[in-house]
Chains A and B, each alone.
Chain A
Amino acid sequence: MAVKVLIPTPLRQYTAGKDTVEASGATVNEVLKDLGTQYAGITERMLDGAKIRRFVNVYVNDEDIRYLQNLETAVKDGDEVSIIPAVAGG
């Protein structure tokens, strides 16, 4: 499954500045693994071991995966995965 992954500004240093990249997988977990294979270092910023860091949220088509099936949430062709870090400034 090819999905569109939206990369937040702080992580774009790993994607050569690209705000959207393609990754493949049948679940969010597989998509993130593929993302890490393509762009070294990016998953360490999002994951703490096998879990998503507590200040990062992941959405599939604008739905928070924590009330779907978390990292096991299924994705299909054309889905959009958004990585949303907490924003502290103001």
Chain B
Amino acid sequence: MSNDSPTALSNPPSLPDRYSRQTIFPGIGVEGQRRLMQSHVTLCGCGALGTVLASSLARAGVGHLRIIDRDFLELHNLQRQVLFDENDVNEGLPKAEAAARKLEAINSTIHVEPVVTDIDHTNIIELAQDADLILDGTDNFETRYLINDVAVKLGKPWVYGGCIGSHGQVMNIVPGQTPCLRCVVESAPPPGMAPTCETAGILGPTVNIIASLQAAEALKILTGHFDAIVRELIMIDIWDGTFKKLKIAGLLDTVDCPTCKKRNFEWLDGKLGSHTTSLCGRNAVQIAHRSSERLSFETLEKQLSPLGPVTYNRFMLKFDVDGYQFTVFPDGRAIIKGTNDVNKARTLYAQYIGH
């Protein structure tokens, strides 16, 4: 930077300049950069992993970045979700929207498409079908199995990342070439059998490392360097100071996988997975009640304001009652804070929002 003249800084950076430090790297080069700029990525989830992924790919010049997230910002997100700040929290922005604003300021030459929605079997094909790569920034296995189904069905690569506490894992899934998620993890841990962000916590550095490893794999895939991708399950623990690569390639021939061998797409077909989920570490439940009509917050505010404080903007309505905090979105989806009990949340939804 010290060699940059004031004149150069006052002009919009030309593309080769902007990306010069990565095009000079032999693995990317001018051709790789051209491919990155023409590529479409669907990023599922824009929380801890997702913000690091979004920032890395936007800076690297990925041409079209679709960022999907169902959640809105809260103060406790700032500990590790690197794209957000206190202003975003005070504005009550959805994460996808707040991320898109930041990314626009970081790289105005790419197209960022924020999508505030819950990914489910009814919308994932539409969200993923034009993508060259799907990236996992989610915090639950239900969505990951759905991503796995759609990726295998459409033959698109995706990169799994998961973390808890000081521990994290990364895996590339290239349909037909590597085992899929279900080959490796046959089913999700049932409730109470695995730690959550609430019980085990999560450290910022864990997330940054895992998402950065995912981003590195994304650069290889998008530039066509499939020879360079990691074909093992990467496992790190930043507290123990360990980095391991576990061999999984042999599973491709030995596991009779319902997804990639038998092509039963049980999540995509809506046979598996619920539409109500307890949110990791939040003491909250999401009710993904899909309404054909968009909610009128004005009407809802009138109904609810006698019962407790109500505020709304064009993205969401907030309502507090009996120690529960409702956040309602225009598509009818709600996050109910103050309980982990899915049935209690369903009851509260029925009581205050209705069907």
Q: Are A and B physically bound partners?
A: yes
Residues of A bordering B, CB below 8 Å: 8-10, 19, 45, 53-55, 57, 59, 62-64, 66-67, 82, 84-90
Structural contact, A59 and B169, CB atoms closer than 8 A:
no
Chain A residue nearest in CB terms to B245: A62
Residue of B nearest to A52 (CB): B186
Q: Which residues of B contact A87 (CB under 8 A)?
A: 162-164, 167-169
Q: Are B136 and A88 within 8 A (Cβ)? A: no
Majority-rule SS of B interface residues: mixed
Q: How many A-B residue pairs have CB under 8 A?
A: 106
What separation, in Å, do the CA atoms of A88 and B167 have in the docked complex? Answer: 11
Identify B48's interface contact among A86, A88, A90, CB under 8 A. A90
B196 to A88, Cβ gap below 8 A? yes
Which residues from B are CB-within-8-Å of A8? 167
Q: Chain B: residues with CB nearer than 8 A to chain A?
A: 45, 47-50, 136-141, 161-169, 184-189, 193-197, 200, 202, 207, 210, 232-233, 235, 237, 240, 244-248, 250-251, 253-255, 280-281
Known: A86-B189, A90-B137, A90-B163. A63 touches B250 (CB 8 A): yes
Determine whether the beta carbon of A64 is less than 8 Å from that of B235: no
The answer to whether B139 and A85 have CB atoms under 8 Å apart is no
- Complex CA gap A82/B185 in Å reads 15
A19 to B280, Cβ gap below 8 A?
Answer: no
Chain A residue with Cβ nearest B50:
A90
Contacts of A84 in B (CB 8 A): 169, 233, 235, 246
A67 to B252, CA, bound (A): 9
Nearest chain B CB to A8's CB is how many angstroms away?
7
Are A9 and B253 in touch, CB under 8 angstroms? no
Can you name 6 extra interface pairs (CB under 8 A) apart from A57-B246, A86-B188?
A9-B195, A63-B250, A64-B247, A64-B248, A89-B163, A89-B202
